């Protein structure tokens, strides 16, 4: 039996295999993570940040925060010594307010960035709509100019009326002349014999 011979392969013409995994001087790409990171939907978190920032900008938040601070100060100032949990310089209150501010600032910045992105998209849509409207207005202006040029060659209503009036005046003059001739002709005719 004759075996078909396979053509010899030329290693220069074959596609190169990725030798990166077999190299010792480069780290391996690991796809498996030892600790799973929580998967957060950026839109959900962004909506939360916007709602939080929106709430922080209201009078209600200021009243709640003022009430919280007043109650904190009153409790730690007026309560018996054994029930106080934050002494006079109110270090724990300062820490709580700093913690609240440290969380609020990035959330507010995130909300502002999202609003800036929305504003950019809206501005682009407005720019597109304005360019379309501008193109439409230019087209309509060209159409109006062409209609005006075409109307310059077409008889207008006022022109037709003036022409009809002049024709009517000419016809009335012609009829008046014809009546005058007719009367003159009747005067020149001899009287028919009476008989």
Answer yes or no: are the C-beta atoms of 90 and 75 closer than 8 Å.
no
pLDDT by residue, tens only, the chain of 195 residues: 455 555 566 555 555 555 555 677 777 766 666 777 777 777 888 899 999 999 998 999 999 999 999 999 999 989 898 999 888 789 999 999 999 999 999 999 999 999 999 999 999 999 999 999 999 999 999 999 998 888 777 777 888 899 999 999 999 999 999 888 877 777 666 666 665
C-alpha atoms less than 13 angstroms from C-alpha of 84 in its C-beta half-sphere: 16
Distance CA 195, CA 192 (A): 9
For residues 73 and 48, what is the distance between their CA atoms, to the nearest angstrom? Answer: 30
Taking the C-alpha atoms of residue 87 and residue 81, their distance in angstroms, rounded to an integer, is: 9
Domain ranges of the chain: 42-155
């Amino acid at each position: 039996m004759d075996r078909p011979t396979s053509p010899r392969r030329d290693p220069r013409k074959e596609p190169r295999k990725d030798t990166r995994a077999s190299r010792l001087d480069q780290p391996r790409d690991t796809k498996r993570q030892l600790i799973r990171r929580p998967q957060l939907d950026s839109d959900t978190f962004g909506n939360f940040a916007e709602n939080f920032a929106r709430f922080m900008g209201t009078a209600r938040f200021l009243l709640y925060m003022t009430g919280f601070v007043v109650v904190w100060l009153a409790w730690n100032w007026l309560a018996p010594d054994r029930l106080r949990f934050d002494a006079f310089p109110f270090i724990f209150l300062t820490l709580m307010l700093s913690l609240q501010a440290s969380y609020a600032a990035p959330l507010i910045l995130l909300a502002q960035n999202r609003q800036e992105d929305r504003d950019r998209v809206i501005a682009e849509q407005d720019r597109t709509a304005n360019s379309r409207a501008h193109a439409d207005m230019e087209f309509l202006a060209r159409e109006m100019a062409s209609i005006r040029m075409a109307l310059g060659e077409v008889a207008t209503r006022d022109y037709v009326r003036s022409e009809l009036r002049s024709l009517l005046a000419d016809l009335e003059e012609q009829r008046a002349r014809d009546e005058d001739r007719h009367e003159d002709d009747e005067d020149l005719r001899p009287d028919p014999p009476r008989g």
